[in-house]
Structure 1
Amino acid sequence: MSATEGEYLHDLRETLRRFVDKEMPRDVVAQWDRENRFPREVFRKLADLGVLGLTVPEEHGGLGRDIVATMAVIEELSKRSLAVAIPYINAACYAGMNIVECGTPEQKASILPRVVSGDMIFAYGWTEPDVGADLASVRTRAQRVGGTITVNGAKRFCTGAEESDYLYTLVRTGPESERHRNLTLLLIPSRHPGVRIERIHALGLHGFSTTDVTFDNVEVGLDAIVGGEQAWNGAWPMIVGPGLDVEKLEVAAMALGVGAAALADAWSYAGERRQFGKTISEYQSIRHKLADMKTQLHAARLVLYHAAGLAQRRLPCSGETSMAKLLATEACKAIALECQTIHGAYGYVKEFDVERCVRDAIGLPIIGGSSAIQRNNIYKWINRS
């Protein structure tokens, strides 16, 4: 990284920290978590900073593709609340990056300026009740008759479907026997006739709904095909390409933010909490816990931003992104639980933010490809090397 790039990232982080302190105070964030509410008014103010344009080319109103800076935004937002960090991902990455990489010129002209302004959010309609990591086995079907596409099926764990403008939906468009050749991506409006969205009440990751989505004879036009008519049955390269690598980094950046927040609170608490005549930070066992967690975070940060740099330069990075996702999310979970232990009984009550960090941290090794999947990816990558 050049000195100029380093200065830019430093200034970007400082801008985001001021934004978080002003627009996302702790008591308000706790209310979002209790109500499981998306603070759209804060999201629109975030758009005013221009950071939603970090995945969008200048010709569409963005700042140009900058994966490293995008990860820095996710990390800084996640230090305070995933209720803003996750919608940022759904807009800048799910909508912005995917349409830049895969959309038609018409789709880019229509969608990308609205991503930059904060008026366009996507939700992924990929996983299904019986389909998780094996996306080539999706059963939601789309049939094409003339200029109309009819969709029937069900999707599960669609983050943000209630708040999104479009469902970025993977559908089966041919025989299941030709798994990878008969898949298509569709842009289905979230409030379209025949679309039913039901909220799932999850332990953490509050503020941006986790949902089930059902499609009952949903009809869309051919312009809903991501990439245009020539991309009918051509979704697989769109899924396994650069977008999937960056998705792993997005979750890793969230984990860095959550882990850093938990550690900062535990560090402060250890310096204030007194037991047996001295602060608990004076006990070697606590100091060692804090030192180990700081080291874990530092290692995860180095791996994440190394992988992000490779992705920015469009170099092969599937192994590195899997390692970043695995290391950061598992470290975050371990750190959050250790920080809760340092807080003692206070770490178990909702008045302390570490309780929310624990609930969020537990979900991060699962979403975006589980830790088991990442270990499989890493093993395969090593064998190919």
Structure 2
Amino acid sequence: MTSIFQSFTDEAPEIAALREQIRRFVAAEAPREKRIAWDKAQAWPRDAYAKLNALGLTGLTIAEEHGGAGQDIVAAVAVIEELTQAGPFFAGPFIHTAFYGGMNLSENGSPEQKAEYLPRLARGELFFAYGLSEPNVGGDLASVETRAELDGDTVVVNGAKRWCTGADWANVIYCLVRSGPPEDRYRNLSFVLIPTDTPGISMQDIEHSNLRYTKSQDVYFDDVRVPAANIVGGPAMWNRGWELLAGRALDVEKIEISACAYGIARAALEEAWQYAKERVQFGKPIAQHQAVRHKLVTAKTKLQACRHMLYHAAWLANEKRPCSVETSMAKLFIADTGVEIALACQQVMGAYALSDAYDMDRHVRDLLGMPIVGGSSDMQKNNLASLLRL
């Protein structure tokens, strides 16, 4: 068994090689002018992503028996870290396939669902979207109002989901519904796989300022009918959705968004670091002024702490060890610290950090949202207080 020290400090040769492969791809396919255009269009590049997809990266969350590369959470996190050096434009769609789809169905799918979906996810042919939040429901997922009822061998869904990011191009919505009496708060939930081309679905775009690889959507379900076989885990998991929310897939979800925050913070620091060495004021590079030096080395120290928390949590998840505390701590610390790093880097670069001459403006916008998305910092604190029996 690989030691914890080796797993996130002395990186395995195959992961180092994977990083180099992605770095070459990012350098070739994501120059600054394209990143600026993608951000303004709020869209990800389909043609370039297809070249990335040919590398087989989406199979890193899927077992070999289902056509994947063998589940390797540490490697998948490294992929996100490197892809975010070009912003969210490749990392976002990768997550929709490898994590929203591949990870969730690998952990929670029925044998039939795994056989149907996982090989296609491993090939990068499918994209999933999350249907969790609602107009009246954010972190309190046990209070979802979208209603699902069984009609023979069919599930009928009515209601609405909010912040259903990428639903307009995703193939399937991994949707949380209330499937039992409202008073049975934790025993009335189910997950259902809802193909986005199912009759009765309509959508409305939501504009947002961060992670602009895509728009988000309000999704409305009006007597949407899907087979009962689409209940995640199979019909036996009807009304048992809370068990899936409390499972390993949710721990990995926190790692995935933490990897995004870490990767973008790293990109921000690298840009500010290079700028400080090149920008001359008062007769010398600003990297030689104490105030700037202190900002940058403090940010570098914080980033290193984020790295250790991220890969420690990823290693625990990869080894299938208990990691709910560590993944919540990683999400809390990296999201909040990423904001601190971004704002310090923005100050180093001054007015240029507010223009499209550099990526810093986008880095700051992306990182400012990280303490909110994927489970807010306050929700992580609540979770940790409960997990630690405070």
TM-score interval, normalised by the smaller of the two chains:
over 0.9
Aligned to 1:44: 50
Aligned to 1:90: 96
Counterpart of 1:306 in 2: which secondary structure? Answer: helix
Distance in 2 (CA, whole Å) between partners of 1:172 and 1:80 is 38
Deviations 1:207-236 (A, max 9, x none): 122111111111111122111111111111
How far off its partner does 1:198 sit?
Answer: 1.2
1:34 maps to 2:63: no
Aligned with residue 342 of structure 1, among 341, 344, 348 = 348
Unpaired runs of at least 5, structure 2? none
1:330 corresponds to which letter in structure 2?
A: D
Unpaired runs of at least 5, structure 1? none
1:224 maps to 2:230: yes
Counterpart of 2:322 in 1: which secondary structure? Answer: coil
Aligned with residue 299 of structure 1, among 302, 305, 317 = 305
Aligned to 1:14: 20
1:31 corresponds to which letter in structure 2?
A: A
Distance in 2 (CA, whole Å) between partners of 1:299 and 1:289 is 16
Aligned to 2:213: 207
How far off its partner does 1:202 sit?
Answer: 0.3
Aligned to 2:71: 65
Aligned to 2:61: 55
1:95 corresponds to which letter in structure 2?
A: G
Identify which range, 190-199 or 167-176, moves more after superposition. 190-199
Flag as ranges the 4+ runs of structure 1 deviating above 3 A: 1-5
Distance in 1 (CA, whole Å) between partners of 2:45 and 2:353 is 26
How far off its partner does 1:5 sit?
Answer: 6.0
Distance in 2 (CA, whole Å) between partners of 1:243 and 1:257 is 21
1:282 corresponds to which letter in structure 2?
A: Q
Aligned to 1:378: 384
Distance in 1 (CA, whole Å) between partners of 2:288 and 2:122 is 48
Total equivalences in the alignment: 384
Counterpart of 2:126 in 1: which secondary structure? Answer: coil
Distance in 2 (CA, whole Å) between partners of 1:334 and 1:216 is 43
Counterpart of 1:178 in 2: which secondary structure? Answer: coil
Distance in 2 (CA, whole Å) between partners of 1:102 and 1:58 is 17
Distance in 2 (CA, whole Å) between partners of 1:221 and 1:54 is 29
Distance in 2 (CA, whole Å) between partners of 1:145 and 1:26 is 52
Counterpart of 1:80 in 2: which secondary structure? Answer: strand
Aligned to 2:273: 267
- Tell whether the 8 Å contact from 1:258 to 1:357 is kept in structure 2 after alignment: yes
Aligned to 1:74: 80
- Tell whether the 8 Å contact from 2:56 to 2:124 is kept in structure 1 after alignment: no
Matches within 5 A, 1:324-363: 324-363=330-369
Aligned to 2:140: 134
Distance in 1 (CA, whole Å) between partners of 2:14 and 2:373 is 30
Counterpart of 2:145 in 1: which secondary structure? Answer: coil
Deviations 1:238-272 (A, max 9, x none): 11101111111111100111101111110111111
Counterpart of 2:164 in 1: which secondary structure? Answer: strand
Deviations 1:122-179 (A, max 9, x none): 1000111111111111000011111222111011111111110000000111111101
1:323 maps to 2:329: yes
Distance in 1 (CA, whole Å) between partners of 2:33 and 2:246 is 40
Matches within 5 A, 1:253-264: 253-264=259-270
- Tell whether the 8 Å contact from 1:43 to 1:118 is kept in structure 2 after alignment: no
Distance in 2 (CA, whole Å) between partners of 1:83 and 1:5 is 26
2:336 corresponds to which letter in structure 1?
A: E
Q: Percent identity?
A: 49
How far off its partner does 1:237 sit?
Answer: 0.8
